[in-house]
């Protein structure tokens, strides 16, 4: 199996604080990989490094065997990296449809209106296309962010707590969607605190604690890892 994303010895220092310390992990192509750990473990910081929002203090990020450390955020998007954010980043005064349309147009896809319709159908939001995004409940707004990220046809999709605010039915819909994306060859790196979702959809899981990877493995291996249970799983069960 081929690694689409490789993170090698990545460190990020904020003043005297090490947010990430020597992080090494792989994300295999056409898989769903979980990134879990306590709040403040460094998960979103790692996402920001992968996307180019923050430069690492040291270490290397490789996408499909290409070092991308010095590649700008916009160019990383063009190379196939898409993401959602922990905090909603929608255009709240635009319609649901226009939010996705803008993303498709900025990505330069062919027939952006058709792409916007396609993503709204996939996310179950087609019947809300004309609603102003700022009027959506949190669960639907989360799904809209995923639709917008997919409008650029990413190869690697980074999802930062996409199940936050979703009810049980919406979380199940998200689970089905993630499996659909995998079947379409899209690689997903998923930060999430919903352990039922993580354990049911992920092929591989990496666990961060205090900026370091403390374990990597299958869901079954992670669930039975004493260090992971002590650092994280014991608190969320």
DSSP H or E segment with residue 44:
helix 43-51
For residue 173, the number of C-alpha atoms closer than 13 Å in the C-beta half-sphere is 18
Domains and CATH numbers, the chain: 3-80+155-236 (3.40.50.300), 92-153 (no CATH)
**Residue 237, pLDDT above cutoff 60:** no
Please tell me the predicted confidence (pLDDT) of residue 170. 85
- Does residue 170 or residue 207 have the better pLDDT? 207
pLDDT band at 235 (very low <50, low <70, confident <90, very high): low
Please tell me the predicted confidence (pLDDT) of residue 87. 86
Three-class SS of residue 203?
coil
The mean pLDDT value for 43-51 works out to 96
**How far is 47 from 160, CA to CA, in rounded Å?**
8
Please tell me the predicted confidence (pLDDT) of residue 204. 98
**Residue 118, pLDDT above cutoff 70:** yes
CB atoms within 10 A of CB 216: 16
- Helix, strand and coil content of the chain, in percent to the nearest 5, comes to 40, 25, 30
Averaged pLDDT score across all residues of the chain: 93
Please tell me the predicted confidence (pLDDT) of residue 214. 96
Please tell me the predicted confidence (pLDDT) of residue 84. 94
pTM, two decimals, is 0.93
Q: Could you give phi then psi for residue 208, rounded to 5 degrees?
A: -100, 140
Range of weakest confidence among 30-34, 43-47, 87-91, 100-104: 87-91
Please tell me the predicted confidence (pLDDT) of residue 9. 98
Place of tokens 């919406």: 170
Give the tens place of pLDDT for each residue, 133-192. Answer: 999 998 899 999 999 999 999 999 999 999 988 889 889 989 999 999 999 999 999 999
Q: Is 108 exposed, middle or buried (0-12, 13-18, 19+ CB in 10 A)?
A: exposed
Please tell me the predicted confidence (pLDDT) of residue 233. 72
For the residues of 121-185, what is the DSSP string, one character each? Answer: HHTT-GGGTTSBGGGS-HHHHHHHHHHHHHTT--SEEEEESTTTT--HHHHHHHHHHHHHHHHTT
**How far is 237 from 231, CA to CA, in rounded Å?**
12
């Amino acid at each position: 199996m081929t690694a689409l994303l490789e993170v090698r010895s990545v460190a990020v220092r904020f003043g005297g604080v090490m947010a990430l310390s020597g992080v090494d992990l792989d994300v295999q192509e056409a898989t769903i990989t979980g990134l879990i750990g306590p709040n403040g473990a460094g998960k979103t910081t790692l996402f920001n490094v992968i996307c180019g929002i923050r430069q690492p203090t040291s270490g290397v990020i490789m996408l499909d065997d290409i070092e991308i450390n010095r590649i700008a955020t916009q160019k990383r998007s063009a190379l196939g990296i898409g993401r959602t954010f922990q905090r909603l980043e929608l255009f709240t005064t635009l319609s649901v449809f226009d939010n996705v349309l803008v993303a498709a147009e900025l990505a330069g896809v062919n027939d952006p209106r058709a792409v916007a319709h396609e993503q709204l159908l996939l996310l179950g939001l087609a019947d809300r296309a004309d609603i102003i995004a700022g009027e959506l409940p949190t669960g639907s707004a989360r799904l809209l962010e995923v639709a917008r990220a997919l409008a650029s046809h990413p190869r690697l999709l980074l999802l930062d707590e996409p199940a936050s605010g979703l009810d049980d039915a919406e979380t199940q819909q998200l689970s089905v969607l993630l499996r659909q994306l995998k079947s379409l060859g899209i690689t997903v790196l998923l930060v999430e605190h919903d352990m039922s979702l993580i354990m049911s959809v992920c092929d591989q899981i990496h666990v961060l604690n205090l900026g370091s990877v403390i374990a990597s493995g299958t869901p079954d291996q992670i669930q039975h890892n004493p260090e992971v249970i002590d650092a994280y799983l014991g608190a969320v069960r």
